[in-house]
Chain A
Amino acid sequence: MMEHQPKIIRKTSPYLRRPQASVTRMMRDVVIALLPVTIFAIYSFGMSAVTILLSAVISMVVTEYLYYQITDLISGEKFKLKNKSFSLYNYSAAVSGLIYGLTLPDSTPIWVVVMCGALGIFLAKLIFGGVGQNVFNPAAVARVIVVVNFSVKYLLHTVDIPLLESVDGLAGATALTFTNFAYESDLGNMITNVFNPAVLDNFSLLNLFTGIGIPGSLGEVSALLLIIGGIYLALRTSFEVRIPLTYVGTVFVLASVVAIQQGLGIWYPVYHILGGGLLFGAIFMATDPITSPITKPGRIYFGFGLGVITFIIRLFGAMPEGVVFSILIMNMFVPTFDYFKWSKSGFTKKSNLIFAGVILASIIVVLVGASYVG
């Protein structure tokens, strides 16, 4: 008979799991994809980049750790140095912190970074119940808190123009004079109201592509390195490639339509894509799976919505940061995309018709709007 008789356990099928699939792997891949951008940011901006990134990451990680320790204490558990709910083990807080840090301009004071980082992860993630439960992207929320509360006072302080005017009064031909400072926060936003190739006087498209000599937020400047990171993530299948593709594609198409209407060259749509935080937001913020729809069509509609809102904010809005606002606005619509009555995992004839109608409508809106702005 058998000499070794192990204990027999009862479970339910299936009994196998995909090897090498884990949340940790996904999050670690995002960190790896961000490495070239981070190194370039440190190379271009020096110590200020290091301190901003470190304080962004630490503020988010420490806030999460403290939050879980406090909630455990309140629920009457014994204090342990290692917390079970703390999500550093799968990098998710660190990833949020790093992304947040990279969206900040190098002139941001450290206390602003720390305060908004802590607030962002608390308001957007922790009070919703931690990893997997959040509606909004924590990095985007933290970034928006910075923009809304501190942009005028801190982020634009190097520009020697009346600040109120710069935020409110940027319309029409007068913005031409502000060409230089517009790169200060979100490149494309402030000058795209003007259909004038003069925006390229200071920075060529090639410079925008490589990021050499471009001021701006830490991680947003080099399109090339962002695309390298995106390709890495796509090869590792650690993000949904449909979202950035439709997002960037939508902005490109809408910008091309406007360019044709206004008689501008190809530089205009390319400039829209390379300038500002579009690529960074598309590759690293919009693709956060927790805050994007669950189905393939849903993700494509999501990317399209992001593109339209970003472009409309850039073209008509008074606010910079079209990318981050569009991500937060579309985050709100994710439960709508996923509502069980119409969420389907494939395309149908009806959904295609509706989608085509929406595309047409948004092109018309942009065209009509552009003819007024121009």
Chain B
Amino acid sequence: MIKKSRKVRDYKELTKALPTLRYVDPEAVYIHLQNGRCKTYDLYVKEGDKVTLGEVIGMRHGGFFEQPIHATISGTVATVAKKLHRTGRKVDCVEIRNDFKNTKHESIVDRPDSLIEDLTQDEMVEIVKNRSLVGLGGSGFPTFIKIATKEKIDTVVINAVECEPYLNSDYRLILEHPDRVITGLKYIMQALNCKKGVIAIKSKNGPLYQVLTQVINHRYPELDIEVMKLGNYYPQGWEVEVFKNALGIVIPHGELPMKYGVIGFNVSTAAGVFDAIKHNLPVIKRYFTLTGDAVKFPQNYRVRVGTSVQQLIALSDGYKDGFDEVLVIMGGPMMGTSTVSDDVIVSKTTTSVIILQNTEYKEEPCVRCGSCVYSCPTNLEPVQIMNAVKRNDKEAMKGLEAFKCIECGLCTYVCTSKIHVTEYVRKAKRLIG
């Protein structure tokens, strides 16, 4: 099939209509002490210590990305163990055993609205930084750096497109807590001294549009917040694509959107900003989708950060019978990471775990149909990059701008010959890195 094809079957119907199941009191949580950017850490507590919800138990060091570590549960500190991280490496995790008392740390107090109204940008940045809020859509980029921008921002965009197949956590979050998202957006707009807010959703998500417009009209009629219906294709959720279709602003490769007067946040991040500023809470719970064709009961969960995915799989009645080989994917099925074990932990940035039946695709020779070239959202020529990698021609890889690739996986998805083109482009990126 030779055509531009950005329609990816989304399988969202598996969990879209299901109410979120709360699973907020596990026996124990495991808190990541390291992540992809922070390799070293200090742990302020030792085995046997009592900790409370929201207490700072350590500090991750990573220069720019340095952030405090918060307990997401009240209980007793147990051992430090190695657990799989989203990046595929084993990292240190501290185990905290739940005492089921939910005692809050004394710093967790609500701010009155009158106080919030007077907060300046710097004060907000400080709060968000101390609450170690990061991009909860999966990027993990510290939010305070974004909020601290000195550029003139005209529009704050909340990205609720969630274009990856299978995922529904953002969808459920808006449906169940629209006020948190919108208030979070209000705070961000206040911090950046910006008058206009946009919430970008998929045009087929009608319920979200109704919920959001109703809440905006009833609670914040004075705010200039527009809910925009964008395309249903993949990767509409890519920030650059959202800005292009919502505001008509094209951001060239390698440039920050702030320079063009726009800034984008994920929905969960906006809700996180609300929690941090209103309740002074770090990220302790998040929406989480456990789905896929190889799990018996796909479900949306509201879980503590640090919950073991194994327990969630057991809650979903385990793996479907009859599949001998499965893939366990953290994140979406187009860009997520596949892990070697299901012994993983829900971290702040884990939106979902998808369990898919393993399908072996038979690769055929490339017939140069051009579907990957037509479909590429960054206007690259993936097949040519693949050929350049095969003959190890670095000049051609550079000339074909392989570094622009966002690894959305569309070239592999559309390939007529079922070739794993994305992997070749990744290799090219590494080679010319």
Contact between chains at A295 and B370 (CB < 8 Å): yes
Question: Which residues does chain B contribute within 8 Å of A73, judged by CB atoms?
Answer: none
Which residue of A has the minimal Cβ distance to B426?
A12
Question: Which residues does chain A contribute within 8 Å of B420, judged by CB atoms?
Answer: 12
- Asked if B342 is at the interface (CB within 8 A of a chain A CB), the reply is yes
Interface residues as binary, A266-290 with B (CB distance below 8 Å gives 1, 0 otherwise):
0000000000000000000000011
Interface residues as binary, B373-391 with A (CB distance below 8 Å gives 1, 0 otherwise):
1101001110110001000
Contact between chains at A345 and B294 (CB < 8 Å): no
One of A2, A13, A14, A20 near B319 (C-beta < 8 A): A2
Chain B contact residues, majority secondary structure = loop
Q: Which residues from 227 to 259 on chain A have a C-beta closer than 8 Å to any C-beta of chain B?
A: 236-240
Which residue of A has the minimal Cβ distance to B5?
A18
Contact between chains at B314 and A8 (CB < 8 Å): no
- Asked if A25 is at the interface (CB within 8 A of a chain B CB), the reply is yes
List the count of A-B residue pairs having beta carbons below 8 Å apart.
171
Chain A contact residues, majority secondary structure = loop
Rounded to whole angstroms, the CA-CA distance of A132 and B407 in the bound complex is 25
Contact between chains at B413 and A14 (CB < 8 Å): yes
Rounded to whole angstroms, the CA-CA distance of A147 and B337 in the bound complex is 56
Known: A4-B318, A15-B334, A294-B384. 6 other contacts (CB 8 A): A8-B342, A16-B413, A18-B414, A23-B417, A132-B417, A346-B379
Contact between chains at A133 and B380 (CB < 8 Å): no
Question: Could you list which residues of chain A lie within 8 angstroms of chain B, going by C-beta atoms?
Answer: 1-23, 25-26, 90, 130-133, 236-240, 289-290, 292, 294-296, 299, 338, 340-341, 343-346
Contact between chains at A132 and B367 (CB < 8 Å): yes
Rounded to whole angstroms, the CA-CA distance of A299 and B371 in the bound complex is 13
Rounded to whole angstroms, the CA-CA distance of A16 and B367 in the bound complex is 20
Binds A, one of B134-142, B213-221, B324-332: B324-332
Taking the closest CB of chain B, its distance from the CB of A359, in whole angstroms, is: 23
Contact between chains at A23 and B319 (CB < 8 Å): no
Rounded to whole angstroms, the CA-CA distance of A1 and B248 in the bound complex is 52
Taking the closest CB of chain B, its distance from the CB of A68, in whole angstroms, is: 13
Contact between chains at B338 and A15 (CB < 8 Å): yes
Contact between chains at A6 and B1 (CB < 8 Å): no
Given contacts A11-B338, A17-B415, contact A26 B384 (CB under 8 A): no
Which residue of B has the minimal Cβ distance to A341?
B399
Which residue of A has the minimal Cβ distance to B359?
A17
Question: Which residues does chain B contribute within 8 Å of A345, judged by CB atoms?
Answer: 373-374, 376, 379-381
Question: Which residues does chain B contribute within 8 Å of A19, judged by CB atoms?
Answer: 9
25 residue pairs of the A-B complex, CB under 8 angstroms, read A4-B319, A4-B320, A5-B319, A8-B339, A8-B340, A8-B341, A9-B325, A10-B338, A10-B339, A13-B329, A13-B338, A13-B407, A14-B413, A15-B333, A18-B414, A21-B1, A22-B364, A23-B367, A26-B1, A90-B364, A132-B417, A237-B1, A294-B384, A296-B374, A345-B381
